Amino acid sequence: MSGSTSPARISRKLSGTRLAKQLAGLDIRTDDIMDQGETARHEGRFVFECSWEVANKVGGIYTVLRTKAPISTEELGDQYCMLGPYNDDRVRLEVEVLEADNAAMKYALEHSRDCGFKVVYGRWLIDGYPKVILFDIGSAAWKLDQWKHEMWTMTKFGIPWHDRESNDCVILGFMVAIFLQKMTIICFQFAEAISSSKPLILVMTNQVSVMLEIFQNIHRDYILCVQRDILD
């Protein structure tokens, strides 16, 4: 339309409060964003949502994720991806295992596998058919002592050796952070190679994902992390 202006871009360096205020002031046009990820791909936007209940029913967040998947994929298409733990029984019932067709995603997955981790990529068989990446915690258990030491060194936050649930969270958090770190590096390399604008990667975490806040601090210039603690 003649005389129309493009939607405002969101600054990459905002606090949570300022980001909320800027979002509230945007004139969001549904026709511009509900395009199955075409706009997100053009702008280099990825949204990763990390939760313990991706294709893994434990409590109420499982229902929340299933409910939001259709609208998320309608807007973002394959630029939206859920991250969670691998549960063999649930994967057999709820996930179609696939090979990654996005180059950056493929290289980042190969990097995780080269580290010795089992990582499964596919689609969750729910409304919206969202892409998922599932990390086998057992395949990285041999790194637990090292990662707990790193976490203590960086945060002075200790985990009792017998607390299996917390130990599993440490392993999942580090596996996710390693994947996201490689994904981010590759996205920036691709953008520089084609003289494109810098990509923006949004990471949303539900419950406790131990390493993601540290990950954002390391990569604060181009990663936006949002943590939501939702009680079942």
Mapping DSSP onto H, E and C, the string for 77-109 reads HHHEEEEEECCHHHHHHHEEECCCCCHHHHHHH
Mean pLDDT of the 29-50 span:
80
- 165 confidence band (pLDDT: 50, 70, 90): confident
Would you state the pLDDT for residue 29? 58
The whole-number pLDDT of residue 4 equals 43
Above 90 in pLDDT, residue 126?
yes
> Among 21-30, 32-41, 88-97, 144-153, which stretch is predicted with the lowest mean pLDDT?
21-30
pLDDT (0 to 100) of residue 31: 57
Compute the distance between CA of residue 203 and CA of residue 49 in angstroms, rounded to an integer: 6
Confidence of residue 137 (pLDDT cuts 50, 70, 90): very high
Please give the pLDDT value at position 136: 98
Q: Of 39, 21, 22, 23, which is closest to residue 31 (Cα–Cα)?
A: 39
Q: Are 137 and 110 in contact (CB under 8 A)?
A: no
Q: Indicate if the pLDDT at residue 50 is higher than 80.
A: yes
Handedness of CA 104, 105, 106, 108 (dihedral sign): positive
What is the chain's percent helix, strand, coil content, to nearest 5? 50, 15, 35
With a cut of 90, say whether residue 37 has pLDDT above it: no
Strand partners, 226: 204
Domains of the chain in start order, with CATH, are 33-228 (3.40.50.2000)
Cβ distance 80 to 72 under 8 Å? yes
- Whether pTM exceeds 0.85: no
pLDDT at 89 > cutoff 90: yes
- Which spans in 127-220 are helix H? 144-155, 164-193, 212-218
Q: Classify strands 45-50 and 80-85 as parallel, antiparallel or unpaired.
A: parallel
Residue 225 has pLDDT above 70, yes or no: no
pLDDT at 113 over 60: yes
pLDDT band at 34 (very low <50, low <70, confident <90, very high): confident
Average pLDDT over residues 36-45: 83
pLDDT band of residue 35 (cuts 50, 70, 90) is: confident
Q: How confident is the model over 63-87, as a mean pLDDT?
A: 94
| Weakest mean pLDDT among 53-62, 161-170, 200-209 | 200-209
In the predicted model, what is the mean pLDDT of residues 81-100?
96
Rounded Cα distance between 173 and 50, Å, is 9
